Amino acid sequence: MTSLTLGATLPPVTGRAGFGGALRSEWTKISSLRSTVVTLVATMAVTIGLSTLFAWGATHRFTQRGHIPPTFDAVRGSLFGLIFGQLVIAVIGAMVITGEYGTGMIRTSLAAQPRRMVTLAAKLSVFTAVALVTGLVSSFASFLIGQHIFSSLNIGVGLGAPNALRSVIGGALFLTVAGLLAFGLGTILRHTAGAITAAVGVLFITFILYQFLPDDWAADAQRWIPFFAGSGVWTTVTTPEEHVFGPWVEFAIFTGYAVIALVIGAITFRRRDA
């Protein structure tokens, strides 16, 4: 009698788990983890805070020196915090995938959704959406605050200025792709510390090492350095020496690094045991 009662209360089998269910599951995971939410807030705080600090400092320097450099880029100057924001969002990108490996929850996820590519695609889709929203908030807020500060010297610009809107949206895309690169590396390495270290190496350490290259090497290497390739899309004042291919072509190069990591990660995710 007990077994019949229990059996009667079980929901009917409606078919195998689909992509929609996987999306809802991944959204629940990413929105319920305090560490993820805190790190997303930290991304916005670091990006907006450092952008504001740079704009304030630049304004004071220009006032003290009595002149403004002719090559000053007011848009880029208001988005300075993206340089460090990329590192914070890379932490989230890595943790979204490596966190489940660390706790062993990846086995439960794959038991609930045995089709591995569906699970990975759901994780990737949810994180991409979250990263893009975070990037848009960070980029637009940084721009608006920075231009308000620059307006005290009459050097602020609006979104209608040439290439301004492209740069602000490009800043959000820059953060999103930086997070996706870390996601791909996390899928490959399956270890949080290793994935974060690798992402910081690609995004930041290569930029530092570039400074030590001989001038003739640096000119050729610069266009392929991830940071330089990615930052071109949120820059309005450029020189042929700095940005050879144009902002969107260079951004495609930057995106290519993330795509390579994601493709390799997908292959390993499908073939390796959990």
Q: What is the pLDDT of residue 13?
A: 43
Read off the tokens for 192.
């949080």
Asked if 51 contacts 78 with a C-beta cutoff of 8 angstroms, the reply is yes
DSSP assignment of 38-78 equals HHHHHHHHHHHHHHHHHHHHHHHHHHHHT---TT--HHHHH
Rounded-to-integer distance, Cα 251 and Cα 174, Å: 8
Token pair 């940084």: residue: 142
**Extents of the domains making up the chain:** 37-271
Nearest CA to 115 among 179, 21, 13? 21
Give the angle 16-18-20 at the CA atoms, nearest 5°: 150
Residue-level pLDDT at 17: 60
**pLDDT (0 to 100) of residue 89:** 95
Of 143, 113, 178, 138, whose CA–CA distance to 47 is shortest?
138
- For tokens 């390799």, the residue is 264
Whether the Cβ atoms of residue 138 and residue 48 lie closer than 8 Å to each other: yes
- In order along its 274 residues, the chain shows pLDDT tens digits of 444 444 445 444 444 568 888 898 889 888 888 888 899 999 999 999 999 999 999 999 999 888 888 888 999 999 999 999 999 999 999 999 998 888 888 888 888 788 889 999 999 999 999 999 999 999 999 999 999 999 999 999 999 999 999 999 999 999 999 999 999 999 999 999 999 999 999 998 888 888 787 877 777 787 888 988 898 899 887 655 555 678 899 999 999 999 999 999 999 998 877 6
- Please give the structure tokens belonging to residue 230: 């990615």
